[in-house]
Structure 1
Amino acid sequence: MEKRVKELHPCFGHGKNKGRIHLPVCPGCNIECNFCDRKINTSENRPGVTSAILTPTEALDALKRALEICPDITVAGIAGPGDTLASNNAIKTFHLIKEKYPGLLKCMSTNGLLLKERADELIELGIDTLTVTVNAVDPKIQAKVISGIFYNGKRYEGEEAARILIENQLEGIRKVSAAGITVKVNTVLIMEINRNHIKDIAKAVREAGAKLYNIIPLIPQHKLKDCVEPECIDIDGARREAEEYIEVFRHCQRCRADAVGIPGQKDYGDQIYLKRINHKDTFSHG
């Protein structure tokens, strides 16, 4: 992993006192995950939630205000609330950031459906870190995690959708990692679906070029509301299995799509984004 990334990014290395801002510029998604409940509100502290959707220009203004309030911010990230590659908003925003604040790390999160075909854009843009949510590398298992995908103007379901998603994720990871982008993979741990599949995921994404792996416990909601919530012993066991193949990240703060500040310490989102209040702790995906 690049030294600069490890020193400056709180989710990729040793930058524990470094800050980040998530800029919520992506309105729509192209995957129907059975655990995902994207919302615009002021109460839930989890990815997939924001108090507003910004334009790229508004995001640049928010970044300027955030840097004035929290000079420790070293990372400009875009993590939703929809998928970052399902529209051009994230890439437009990063172009503005690259021109105005070239010293900031540029961090993006994606479900990876369009990663294979848009990888060259990210490479040319100079994205520093990329997080891809990979919940299975077996189509039979993946088909239980998602209800469908929207791809090239068509809706796919079942194992056909799962195969397309997995192929695009892994090939996309190969392309961007080969170009020097540091890749982290998130997996939502679903006890009834992918608990015994963690080793396979970790091995496959490491072989594709991912450097870091983050296992996130499901909070039962949406179509998976009847699933059990993983306990600490379950999460720890899954992490130990994954560590046989890849470095595991253990300090995820389950950040909103409009988080601002130093993870786990101080959040300035209510000062940057209007009417931001954090008091309800739920989570869908990373």
Structure 2
Amino acid sequence: MGRRRKNGRDISGWLVINKPAGITSNAVVNKVRWAMDAKKAGHAGTLDPEATGVLAIALGEATKTVPYITDAQKAYRFTVRLGQATNTDDAEGEVIAESDTRPTDDEIRAALPQFTGDIMQIPPQFSAVKIDGQRAYKLARAGEEVEIKARPLWVEELELVERIDEDHIVLEMICGKGGYVRSIARDLGAVLGCYAHVKSLHRVWSGPFEAEDGITMDLVEELAKTGDLDAYLRPLEQGLEDLPELRCTPEAAARLRHGNPGMVLASDVEYGDEAWASLDGKAVAVGVYKSGELHPSRVFNTA
């Protein structure tokens, strides 16, 4: 177990949760922090309350690696309800438009390429996007309809995997940071001329973390405050898997931990690349590689 402080334990690493429906991402973070008596915790990418799947919780020094998981690609499997538009673009909202039109499977497949590659996407009215300093969902709840600007999104894949019935299809999407599945469903319905919204959503994986490997909230409750959850903790280094690892000496590690450049062993990185330095496999710092040295931007106090 990590060192215990008055306001929580100094414990670092990742706890991967397979989130159930009906709970907010922040509530999961708070429950995990309480259950593990952790000093610091955060998550790498919000899931809507009714969404399920992988929610990676960073503890302690691992919170410094959250941006790298947030920026990583993610995979979603979601069910789309054809024939209805809602004000939230999901099943939680009110139906605001309906259509008897139902596209064929071939028509759906033909439309999907419009939503792959570099696209521009307008987030839902009910989203956490800030408009003049306020969250869009707060303005929407107050009855205000605001203009939300389109944002760039990279969509690696978008496929039709199942036609459940005339009204429901299942899609799978792999995308980059900032993607709104609800917007994909809404805009697909518009292109097909039938309206659509998301009925259910499951995040299959996020960066190196997979939902099927995550633990349940029931287990978090069961093992809370016992210290047994520590066995499920993953090293903070997993949050850095998309960056090159550069080994360093104890002397260089000491310099890096004080915020100074340190010599590193590098073979496949170029000048200006972002990378992380390790000592005996443990993360020391993240920074920019320049002429044999790593210039740190984040340092890890886990020694």
- What band does the TM-score fall into relative to the shorter chain? under 0.3
Higher relative contact order by CA 8 Å / sep ≥ 6: 1 or 2?
Answer: 1
Structure 1-normalised TM-score? 0.25
More helix by share: 1
Larger radius of gyration: 2
Structure 2-normalised TM-score? 0.24
